[in-house]
Structures are given as C-alpha cells and as structure tokens.
C-alpha cells in the first residue's frame, strides 16, 4: 500500500523515475571512486528530481555572473562551475569515449582559464 502511494506521488509531479539499470555504482571500482560515488548518490538523485530547467538556469546564471563580476568573486564563481563540471566528468568518466573525454576536459580547462583571467593574475 505504501509503495502504491509513493508511486502515485512520484507520478503526480513529485519526482521522476530513475533511469533503468541494476547498478548505481561502477562495477569493480577502486576505493576512492566507490566513496565518491556513494557520497554523490544523494546530490545526484536530488538533481535528477529537480525541475528540468533548474540546473541549466543556475549554471547559466553562475557563468554569466562569473564573467560579469570582475576580480575574486568572478573567479570563484567560474571555479565553482569548473568544479561542478569536474565532479560530473569524474562520475561519468568510465562510460565516456575519447572525444567525450576531451570535450569535458576542454570545458573545464576553459572555465579555469576564464577564472584565472577574471582573477586579475594575467
């Protein structure tokens, strides 16, 4: 009975179903990856259940604010965005192919480079 209520509440607009699959964690992963994946599970589920446009809107706002605000504040915002991208890249790394890996590393490098420029060190 309780499972039916949870399913009905989820379908009514509370949360979206998780993707299909039998393993939430990377099989055969080392201790560091297992720990990071374990600690990332709750934030990832929260992001999955958040409204679809929330994450792109927040990331866009942080990017624009990081580019507009000069100095340390802009650099920190761009650094936080790069850190978020690095976290997602780390979690998806085992499933990525060569070009996908290069794209993610390039995006992180660009954000870090823009952060350095904003900081005034260059």
pLDDT at residue 25, rounded to an integer: 76
Considering its fold, how many domains does the chain have in total?
1
Angle at 94 between CA 93 and CA 96, to 5 degrees: 65
User: What are the tens digits of pLDDT across the range 40-52?
Assistant: 999 999 999 999 9
In a domain, 13, yes or no: no
In a domain, 110, yes or no: yes
> Which of 90, 101, 98, 104 lies closest to 29 in space, CA to CA?
90
In a domain, 35, yes or no: no
In the three-class reduction of DSSP (H, G, I as helix; E, B as strand; rest coil), residue 58 is classed as helix
In a domain, 37, yes or no: no
Report pTM: 0.78
User: What are the tens digits of pLDDT across the range 22-41?
Assistant: 566 788 888 999 999 999 99
In terms of Cβ atoms closer than 10 Å to its own Cβ (0-12, 13-18, 19+), residue 81 is buried
In a domain, 6, yes or no: no
Q: Which domain holds residue 121?
A: 71-122
> Do 75 and 63 meet the contact criterion of CB atoms below 8 Å apart?
no
In a domain, 19, yes or no: no
Angle at 65 between CA 57 and CA 96, to 5 degrees: 55
In a domain, 56, yes or no: no
User: What are the tens digits of pLDDT across the range 46-72?
Assistant: 999 999 999 999 999 999 999 999 899
In a domain, 60, yes or no: no
Residue 9's pLDDT band (cuts 50, 70, 90): very low
């Amino acid at each position: 009975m309780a499972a039916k209520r949870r399913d009905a509440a989820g379908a009514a607009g509370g949360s979206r179903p998780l993707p299909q699959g039998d393993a939430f964690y990377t099989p055969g992963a080392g201790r560091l990856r297992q720990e990071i994946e374990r600690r990332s599970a709750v934030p990832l589920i929260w992001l999955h259940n958040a409204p679809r446009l929330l994450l792109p809107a927040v990331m866009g706002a942080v990017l624009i604010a990081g580019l507009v605000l000069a100095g340390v504040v802009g650099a920190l915002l761009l650094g936080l965005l790069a850190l978020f991208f690095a976290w997602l890249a780390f979690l998806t790394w085992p499933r990525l192919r060569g070009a996908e890996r290069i794209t993610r590393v390039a995006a992180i490098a660009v954000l870090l480079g823009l952060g350095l420029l904003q900081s005034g060190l260059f």
